[in-house]
Each structure stands twice: as structure tokens, then as C-alpha cells.
């Protein structure tokens, strides 16, 4: 079965609409027989994703840094919990297990993870699909910045050619099929 790496917020404080979208995406992916690899937290959108995948009998792999041992709990129903030293190794471990990547709405950590994969794609070191979920144009300032970098010729390949920006859950699913 294919495995999707989803980058998502661990904040419980985000607006409920983001949790609803995360649950809807997770349910559709799980129904399409995707398994999940993610940052492992039992909080925020990460927890919503993991619970939904597990409720539909899909495999959930948590990758969590040792440094978070006292900060957050790993998702308790994980099929596999992989402990690594540092965020860099977390991203590397998730990437080695992923057949595709999806970034949901989130903060600096989500943006960092998305940019890591985008950079690998720029360098031809990754070929897996990369999708940015952009409901309500959440990521517009970031997308504008990528366009500016391209206009100023800081990229050999336009960034927009390396990922799909999806405004709806259905667009996410179409990008991954």
C-alpha cells in the first residue's frame, strides 16, 4: 500500500475548520488505501489525521524526535513509533517512507517540512508528488514569495511546476491519483 507523508500543525488552538478539513482529507486518503507517516504528535491536526487513519484501519507511522519526549506524547495507537535525534532526521526518516507528500495548513514547522521536499525536488533528489493544501488561500503570501523568487531568477525550474497547490479536498485527491 502507498504511504503518504503529511505535514501538519500540532497546535490544538487552530480554528475548527482546519480540523474538519484534516479529517476529511484523512478519511478520503484512508479510503483510497493510503497509509500515513507523520510527525507523530497526539495534538492538533496531527492527532486528527492519525485518529482518522486508524479509525479506517490504516497503518500509522509516527516519527518523533527524542527532544520532544517531555513536550508532547506520540500518537498512542501508532503501528510504529520511530524515535530520532532532531528534526532533520525526522524529516529524513519520513521522506524515506513516503510515496507522496502533502502539507496541510500549519505554522513554521509545516512550512519548513514542505520547503525541504520542495528543495529536494528543485535539486532532482525527489520525484514523489508534492501537494500543498491551500484552503481559503491560506498559503497565498508563501505562494507569492515563491513566484517572486522565480521572477527574480533564483530558481532554474519554476517552483509552481514542482508541486500542486490544492484549494479543496477534491483537488488534493486528484493531485495524488
pLDDT score for 71: 66
Query: In DSSP terms, which residues pair with 124 in a beta bridge?
Result: none
pLDDT value of position 70? 65
Give the CATH number of domain 3-176; options: 3.40.50.450, 3.40.50.620, 3.40.50.300, 3.10.129.10: 3.40.50.450
Angle 16-31/169-176 helices, nearest 10 degrees? Answer: 30
Q: What is the pLDDT of residue 3?
A: 97
Q: Does the reported pTM lie above 0.75?
A: yes
pLDDT given for residue 167 in this prediction: 97
Contact assessment for residue 160 and residue 147, using Cβ atoms and an 8 Å cutoff? yes
- Mean pLDDT, consecutive 10-residue stretches, the chain (177 aa), reads 95 93 98 95 91 97 80 78 89 94 96 96 96 98 96 92 97 95
CA distances from 97 to 108, 120, 126, 173 (A): 22, 15, 12, 20
- What is the predicted pLDDT for the residue at 135? 97
Structural domain spans, the chain: 3-176
The sign of the CA dihedral 14, 18, 19, 25 is negative
Amino acid at each position: 500500500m502507498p504511504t503518504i507523508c503529511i505535514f501538519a500543525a500540532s497546535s490544538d488552538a487552530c480554528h475548527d475548520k482546519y480540523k474538519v478539513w484534516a479529517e476529511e482529507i484523512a478519511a478520503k486518503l484512508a479510503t483510497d488505501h493510503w497509509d500515513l507517516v507523520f510527525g507523530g504528535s497526539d495534538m492538533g491536526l496531527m492527532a486528527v489525521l492519525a485518529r482518522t487513519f486508524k479509525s479506517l484501519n490504516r497503518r500509522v507511522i509516527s516519527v518523533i524526535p527524542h527532544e520532544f519526549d517531555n513536550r508532547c506524547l506520540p500518537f498512542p495507537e501508532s503501528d510504529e513509533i520511530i524515535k530520532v535525534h532532531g528534526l532533520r532526521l525526522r524529516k529524513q526518516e519520513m521522506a524515506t517512507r513516503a510515496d507522496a507528500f502533502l502539507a496541510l495548513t500549519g505554522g513554521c514547522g509545516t512550512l519548513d517540512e514542505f520547503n525541504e521536499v520542495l528543495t529536494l525536488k528543485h535539486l532532482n533528489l525527489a520525484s514523489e508528488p508534492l501537494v500543498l493544501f491551500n484552503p481559503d488561500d491560506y498559503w497565498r503570501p508563501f505562494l507569492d514569495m515563491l513566484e517572486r523568487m522565480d521572477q527574480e531568477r533564483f530558481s532554474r525550474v519554476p517552483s509552481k511546476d514542482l508541486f500542486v497547490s490544492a484549494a479543496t479536498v477534491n483537488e488534493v485527491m486528484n493531485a495524488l491519483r
